[in-house]
A and B are shown apart, each in its own frame.
Chain A
Amino acid sequence: MFRRIFVANRGEVAVRIARAAQSLSIEAVCAVSTADRDASWTEAFESVVCVGESAPSRSYLRAEALVQAARQSRCSAVHPGWGFLAENPRFAALCLQHGLTFIGPRPAVTERMGLKWPAKAAMAAAGLEGIPGSEGVLAGPEEALQAARRVGYPVLLKADAGGGGRGMRLAQSEEELPGAYEAAHAEAAAAFGNGSLYLERYQSGGRHIEVQLLCDAYGKALHLFERECSIQRKHQKLIEESPSPALSDSERAELGTAAARAARQVGYTGAGTIEFLRPRGESRLCFMEMNTRLQVEHPVSEAVTGIDIVQEQLRIAAAEPLALEQSQIALDGHAIELRINAEDPSADFKPCPGTLTRFDLPRDRGPGRVRVDTHLRAGDRVSPFYDSLLAKVICHAESREAAIETALRALEGARIEGVPTTIPLHLAVLASDAFARGDYDTASIPGWTA
C-alpha cells in the first residue's frame, strides 16, 4: 500500500479522499490554489502545496506543476478526484512517466473512454448500444449543422472531454445551433482545457441510470448496482438514488452484468461508471458515456452496498486484487443523495458565492441514517472561482419511503445562512407525489414549478 498520496483536486472530493487515505493509514498531501491556500478544509491534509493562482487553468489544471508538487512532497501516487484533470490521459501518463502511480485507469483506457466519442465506438463493440449522433468530434459549427440535419433536431452538443454537465448545450433548431456551439465550446475549453464537441440527438426526458463499477488489475470486474440520476436541472444532477425505482430486479441484474462485462472487455481498472439513458416510453437502455473516475454521487452506492469505493480505488491502484465476489454484493435498503448547491432557486439557480454565516446540517434525523459529505463549515467563504457544491446529504434507510422521510427531516433541520441554497427545491421534490411514486425523468422536476 502507499505511504503518502497526492490529491490533485480541491474541496469536497479532496476531503473525501483524505478520509479514505486516513482509514488505510496513508498520509495525504493536497494541491491548492492561492484562493484555497487558507481554506479550512485543507486541515484534512498533512500538508498542502500551492500550485498557482485561483483560476483553474493557472492551478488545478496545470499537469506539470501538479506532478512536480507530488514529487517534491515525496508522494508515490496521485489521486485526481473528479473534474479538473481526472479524465485527462496526458496527466495520467505524465504521472507514470515521473514514477507516480495514477489512481485511475491506464492512460490508453482513459483516452478511449474519457473522450466520449471513442468510448461510444468501443462500447458498441462491447455490446452496449448508443444514442444516434455525430460520427466523431465536430470540426466546427458547419459540421455540427450537417450532423444535426442527419440525426434531426433537437440536438445536444456535448464536450468530448466533458462530464458533470459542463460544456453542454441544447439546440432546438438550425438557428440556435451556432450560438449553442459557441457557448458549449467556450465553457468546455475553460472547464476541461479542451473545446472539442460532439453531437447527439436530444432525448427529451428519459431516465438517466448509471452503473458503478470496480475493476482490479487482474481482470475482475464487479458492479455495485445502479444509481438513478434523473432529477436534474440544466443537465446538472441534483438528486441521486439507488436502487432505481424504474428497474425491475431482473433488469437490474442484467444491466449490471452487461456493464461489468463491457468494462472488463475494454481493459478498465479502478472505479468507473457507465451511464445509460432509457428513452421515454422505451425499455432499452442506451449507452451514454463512461466516466473513468470517482463520481460525485458515489456515496449512494456506498450506502446500499457497504463498500467504501475510495478505499477500493486506493487498493486497486496499489495492485491489490478485489477481495469480493459479485455474489457477495447485495443491495441493502435504499439511499438518496441531495446535492446542496450555493444557488438561488428564485433567480433561475444563479450560482451565489458568499460567506457562510451559519452552516448546520443535522445528521441525527431518523428513521434512517444520514451522512453529510462537505468541506465547509460556518465562517467559510464560498469562492466564486469553483463550483457551487456546498454539501451532499446522503440518507439511507430500509425502504425508499423511509429514505425519503429521512431526507425530508434532515433538510427541514438544515440551517444555512449567508448564501441561498437549493434546499427549497429539494424539499419540494421530496414532498411531491410524483417523486414518491418514482415517476419522473430528466425533463421534469417533480413538485417544482418555478
Chain B
Amino acid sequence: MSLELLRIDRGEKLLLASPDVGWFTRAPAPGTALAPGQRAGILRRLGDAVPLLVPAGVFGRVAGELPELVMTPVGYGDPLFTLTPLGGELEDHAAQETAPTEGQLVLRAEGSGRFYHRPAPGQPPFVSPGEILEPGRVVGLIEVMKTFTHVTYQVAPARSGPALPPRARVLRALVEDGADVTRGTALFALEEA
C-alpha cells in the first residue's frame, strides 16, 4: 500500500502535499532529485506506515532548508516540500482527453453540484455512448446539498448555451462519475441524430 503525493503548482515552484492525515516522517533531504514513482517520505496513520510516492509528470529537486519533518502531524493537502522542476512531462493528458473539441455539441450542467452517471453504485449508467437522446430523457443525477435531482436532456437549455437538436447521439461522457460540476460544465459530447 502506498499513496501518491498531491501536486500543487505555484508559479515556477512545484509543491508536493500530503495525500492524507497522519504523521509525516523520512522526508527526502534538500537537493534530492525526485522522479515519478520514487518514494519521498512516509505517512503514519492509525498503526500503518504508508510510503508516499512522487506522482506522474513530476521531476524536481527538493528545495529549501533541511525540514524538521520527523513525525510531524500533517493534514490532507498540507505542503510537505517544495521542488525546483527539472523539466520532463508536465502536460495533463487526462484533461486533454475529456475536453470537448471546438464546435462540438455538448450537453451542459444547469447548476452546481455533484454529477452521477448511475442511479446507484454498481448499476448501469443512465446513458452510454451511441444512445439517442430525446427531450426529457434522464442522463444523470445531480446532488445539491444532499438532495438528488434528475438531469434531463432539453432541446432549449434554460440558461446554459445554444439550443440542441431534438434527437442527439451520445459520443462520450466528459465528466467522471461523482465529479463536481458547476453551471455550464460540459457533461456529454453529442452529435445530431
Which residues from chain A sit less than 8 Å from chain B, CB to CB?
Answer: 34, 37, 48-55, 59, 64-65, 67-69, 71-73, 98, 166, 182-183, 185-187, 189-191, 195, 342, 350-351, 353, 384-388
Contact = CB atoms under 8 A, between A and B. Distances in A.
A304 to B, nearest CB: 30
Given A72-B23, A183-B148, A351-B144, A52 B121 contact: no
Q: Identify whether the interface residues of A are mostly helix, strand, loop, or mixed.
A: mixed
A88 B46 CA distance: 19
A98 B46 contact: yes
B134 interface: no
B45 A68 contact: yes
A72 B73 contact: yes
Contacts of A55: 114, 178, 180
B14 to A, nearest CB: 19
Which of A48, A69, A73, A189 has the most chain B CB atoms closer than 10 A to its own CB? A69
Contacts of A388: 145
Contact of A384 (B119, B144, B148, B178): B144
Interface of B: 20-23, 45-46, 73, 75-78, 112-114, 119-121, 141, 143-148, 178, 180
Which of B22, B119, B121, B147 has the most chain A CB atoms closer than 10 A to its own CB? B147
Q: Which 10 A-B pairs have the closest CB atoms?
A: A72-B73, A50-B75, A351-B145, A50-B76, A49-B75, A384-B112, A65-B21, A69-B21, A388-B145, A52-B76
Contacts of A98: 46
A27 to B, nearest CB: 15
Contact of B112 (A34, A353, A386): A353
B145 A353 contact: yes
Contacts of B73: 49, 72-73
B144 A353 contact: yes
Which of A54, A59, A65, A182 has the most chain B CB atoms closer than 10 A to its own CB? A65
A384 B45 contact: no
A213 B144 CA distance: 33
A419 B21 CA distance: 34
A351 B22 contact: no
